[in-house]
Structure 1
Amino acid sequence: MPFDLSPRPLNPAPVTPAMVWPNGAKSALFIGFDVDAETAWIGNNPSNVDRMVTTSHGGYDARVGISKIVSLMDELSLPATFFIPGWTALAHPAQCEAILKAGHEIGHHGYLHKLPDRDKLDEAFEEIDRGYEALQQVLGVRPIGYRAPSGENFPELLAYLSKSGMRYSSSFRDDILPYRHADHGGERGLVEIPVNFAFDDWNFGMTSRTSSRPIFGRDAVLQMWIDEFEATHAWGGVTTLVLHPQVSGRPMRWHLLRDFLMHVQSRTDVWIATGAEISDHFDALEAARAEL
């Protein structure tokens, strides 16, 4: 089918009015971890399954990264949302159970971290179903929040997520405030908690033997995160983190993340919340506006 390139907003979701955050907060912080483990290396390139050094990047999650991140959240008494592919839960159940036991929210991140493809709807929907099944089997939970593997989505997938009981997404890059996606296929749009690409640690702390992308050091990343957070805070938005234990669970980057989070905590007017809590708050504000 030909692509529809007619001029129009490609995301028809309405703009959110200015947010009122809980407890007099001026902005919000959403700490989200993508627990990809080896799926980051095999989901879109299955031939890597036999490249043990390549997949060892992801193996760091289970051997070191997850426990270090959970310990950091405990040290700072911070709530987080961990988006876990179903494959990761099945391959590393003890480490994923430790996340749940620590009281953090479990989010959906596909099954094998495959890039959702609009031309392969059955495969895209299967990724959702298998992810649910694995998380239910291992952790006994059915998530209400979704982060798109490889960061992609499309209307039919949003509708399928809504139909399956998902309540929010955290994948899009087009706002600093939560908003509700447009209805599609008779399904109510999800709440979107948008992402700022500057807070994706993969961009600055991950490369591979086959990539020429440099790794950025502490001074560059920490100052950028602080500056971006402060500007988002001044605008009353939500600072959404896209972090990976195989990146931010590394020694120097663990300390970098710790210092950033302590900077945010030094403010008394930031609401630090899980995706579920932010989604619930958005729903409540939306319902209150509807009654006016």
Structure 2
Amino acid sequence: MNRHYACITFDFDAMSGLVARGLTTPTPVSRGEFGAVALPRILDLLKRYDIKASFFIPGVVIGTYPRECEQILAYGHEIGHHGWTHVPPANLTPEQEEDGLIRGIEKIRELTGAAPRGYRSPSWDLSTYTVELLLRHGFLYESSMMGNDHEPYRVRQGDVVSVDEPMQFGKPTPLIELPISWTLDDFPHFEYLRVGQSLAPGLQNASGVLENWVNDFEYMRQTCDWGILTYTCHPYVIGRGHRMIMLDKLLKSLQEKGAQFITLEQAARMYDERSLFHA
């Protein structure tokens, strides 16, 4: 029997992603605050469809919004690691990265009673040390890379990347990758953002984004017997009125197409059973 899965995921960054970009004045901070306003409406929508989602939360956000994070947990959703701050690992020293990883693990353990099984890097930018650290600290999966669209795979370690020589691929590790894509992320489509001389225009019509997101699932359904498609949203982005209507339509459309909704941890365990790791 065909099995087509959809993972609805949220990066509850609040203001941490903006602060990490140096935007610390009142307006960008308030922009992040809207995530806490939007969260209850998102949780209510997921409950209406009986969907369990995966929420990735930086440690500083758990400290800033403990009640909201407790509410996510109370609704039965997965809570994954999203850094201590929202500074990308690629911008940290190995010592800073591991310190933040440990602090985030402990904050999630304090919230949930258990260490997180999944990791998603801030800004989807891993360092050359991240995989080693995730393996060292017992993570089952990570979800920050784009080497496939709806087929999980094992994360490699030891790639050699050179500007003027062929790529040398490292060896697969037990760590499972649940791939993502900027095309299935709400932020680049919707957020207007100025940082220095750069501009992210965003503000796209939600109907066009909805069509793309539904069609990616439809393509998976037409071309493979088994697959997992991961959508990434941010409460302060998707939580605006017209985008909430879009999210509602997305969940309804996927449901009508036979999507089975699972968390990323469930997806990783399912893949692990289908494709046993051989060292």
1:39 aligns with 2:16: yes
Cα displacement string for residues 145-172 of structure 1 (whole angstroms, at most 9, x for unaligned residues): 0111011114421111111011101110
1:92 aligns with 2:65: yes
Please state how far the C-alpha of 1:187 moved relative to its aligned partner. 9.9
* Secondary structure of the structure 2 residue equivalent to 1:190: strand
Structure with the higher strand share, 1 or 2: 2
Q: Conserved in 2, the CA contact under 8 Å of 1:163 and 1:187?
A: no
- Which residue matches 1:146? 119
Please state how far the C-alpha of 1:186 moved relative to its aligned partner. 10
Cα displacement string for residues 119-154 of structure 1 (whole angstroms, at most 9, x for unaligned residues): 611111122111112222234331100111011114
| TM-score, normalising length: structure 1 | 0.83
User: Which runs of 5 or more residues in structure 2 are unaligned?
Assistant: 159-169
Q: 2:42 and 2:59 mapped to 1: Cα distance?
A: 19
Q: 2:172 and 2:19 mapped to 1: Cα distance?
A: 32
1:158 aligns with 2:131: yes
* Secondary structure of the structure 1 residue equivalent to 2:7: strand
147, 153, 156: which is aligned to 1:179? 153
1:25 aligns with 2:2: yes
Q: Conserved in 2, the CA contact under 8 Å of 1:83 and 1:106?
A: yes
Please state how far the C-alpha of 1:182 moved relative to its aligned partner. 2.7
Q: What is the number of residues matched between the two proteins?
A: 261
1:272 aligns with 2:245: no
- Which residue matches 2:161? none
* Secondary structure of the structure 2 residue equivalent to 1:225: helix
Evaluate the alpha carbon distance shift between residue 209 and residue 156 of structure 1 in structure 2; reply closer, same or farther with a 3 A threshold.
closer
| TM-score, normalising length: structure 2 | 0.87
1:72 aligns with 2:45: yes
Of 85-94 and 25-34, deviating more is 25-34
After the TM superposition, which parts of structure 1 deviate over 6 Å for at least 4 consecutive aligned residues?
none
Amino acid at match of 2:6: L
1:58 aligns with 2:32: yes
Cα displacement string for residues 252-273 of structure 1 (whole angstroms, at most 9, x for unaligned residues): 10110110111000123x3321
94, 100, 118: which is aligned to 1:121? 94
* Secondary structure of the structure 2 residue equivalent to 1:78: coil
Evaluate the alpha carbon distance shift between residue 102 and residue 230 of structure 1 in structure 2; reply closer, same or farther with a 3 A threshold.
same
Cα displacement string for residues 210-248 of structure 1 (whole angstroms, at most 9, x for unaligned residues): 535141012211111122221122233321111100111
- Which residue matches 1:9? none
* Secondary structure of the structure 1 residue equivalent to 2:183: helix
Amino acid at match of 1:206: E
* Secondary structure of the structure 2 residue equivalent to 1:234: helix
Q: Conserved in 2, the CA contact under 8 Å of 1:159 and 1:189?
A: no
Q: 2:221 and 2:172 mapped to 1: Cα distance?
A: 33
User: Which runs of 5 or more residues in structure 1 are unaligned?
Assistant: 1-23
Q: 1:187 and 1:172 mapped to 2: Cα distance?
A: 14
Identity, in percent, stands at 29
Q: 2:128 and 2:2 mapped to 1: Cα distance?
A: 33
1:229 aligns with 2:217: yes
Q: 1:43 and 1:127 mapped to 2: Cα distance?
A: 14
Q: Conserved in 1, the CA contact under 8 Å of 2:12 and 2:234?
A: yes
* Secondary structure of the structure 2 residue equivalent to 1:171: coil
Q: 1:141 and 1:95 mapped to 2: Cα distance?
A: 18
Amino acid at match of 1:35: F
Residue pairs, 1:173-252, within 5 angstroms: 173-176=146-149, 177-183=151-157, 188-208=173-193, 211=199, 213-236=201-224, 237-252=227-242
Amino acid at match of 2:47: D
Q: 1:186 and 1:129 mapped to 2: Cα distance?
A: 25
Amino acid at match of 1:96: C
* Secondary structure of the structure 1 residue equivalent to 2:104: helix
